[in-house]
Amino acid sequence: MVPLVAGAFPTVRGAGLTHRGLIRERNEDSILTDPSGRLWAVADGMGGYGHGDVASDIVIDCLEQIEDEEEPATALAERLSEANTAVRRLAATPGLGQMGSTVVALIIDRARAHFAWAGDSRGYLLRAGQLRLITRDHTVVQNLIDQGELRPEAAEQHPESHIVTRAVGGDDGLEVEFATLPLIQGDRIMLCSDGLPRCVYEQTIEELLAGAATAENTCRALVAEALAQGAPDNVSVIVIDIGEA
């Protein structure tokens, strides 16, 4: 592992892939991949609300407006707030009804990764072969785990495992959570919708991410594994590799 000098500009290469899965009739996920390596996002439209694909598209459209010179956390907060307003305004249109989207977004600025998220789309870091979950799910089940009322291994079987407590479009005021971490040469970051960890064990995700495949081929392998396990939901994955400055 080679530490990156503070303020350095590492080489960033990544890829993304999204699939409707094997059960859902349409794909309500949207992804944002940036050829420059700076801005990445996964938005998971909430199918239970209807028009989830529209909500996730709005999230990505707003994030795409971020300029390179903007301060990462402020830019992410402002654009997600704008998306929240836009989704709620559209949902008020007669005949549409409530809609929403979870989101995990990332800005890589110099040698630091700035995450922002709402809901249960996730961000992971693979460092020296070890997988670490950076985000924390905003769900009813996660709250129960935090309160000691539910064991983590029982989470997927809980009847409210699909209920999120935060989402773009869910309330007038969107509460976004943030995390920032320094990057090291050789780091690999993964963003995903909940359709991946719901059917692929984290140990398998770790093994696939730790392989020597390119970001693009790793995305294909992760989605293929989800499909092999039945993929009852849409599946979206972004893999980002951090190289030398």
Residuewise pLDDT in 10s, the chain (245 residues): 556 655 667 899 999 999 999 999 999 999 999 999 999 999 999 965 678 999 999 999 999 999 999 999 999 999 999 999 999 999 999 888 889 999 999 999 999 999 999 999 999 999 999 999 999 999 988 888 778 877 776 667 666 767 899 999 999 999 999 999 999 999 999 999 999 999 999 999 999 999 989 999 999 999 999 999 999 999 999 999 999 87
Torsion from C-alpha of 136, 142, 143, 146, nearest 10 degrees? -80
Quick check: pTM over 0.85?
yes
User: In the prediction, which pLDDT does 232 show?
Assistant: 95
Instruction: Output the pLDDT for position 152.
Output: 72
Phi-psi region of 22 (alpha: psi -120 to 50; beta: other; left: phi over 0): alpha
Q: What is the pLDDT of residue 47?
A: 66
pLDDT value at residue 188: 98
pLDDT of residue 96: 82
Q: SS3 string of the chain? A: CEECCCCCCCCEEEEEEEECCCCCCCCCEEEECCCCCCEEEEEEECHHHCCHHHHHHHHHHHHCCCCCCCCHHHHHHHHHHHHHHHHHHHHCCCCCCCCCEEEEEEEEECCEEEEEEECCCEEEEEECCEEEECCCCCEHHHHHHHCCCCCHHHHHHCCCCCCECCCECCCCCCCCEEEEEECEECCEEEEECCCCCCCCCHHHHHHHHCCCCCHHHHHHHHHHHHHHCCCCCCEEEEEEEECCC
| CATH code of the region 2-242 | 3.60.40.10
| pLDDT value, residue 27 | 96
Domain extents in the chain: 2-242
> b/e per residue, 168-205, with b = 16+ CB within 10 A?
bbbeeebebeebeeebbbebbbbbbbbbbbbbbeeeeb
What pLDDT was estimated at residue 119? 97
Distance CA 170, CA 166 (A): 7
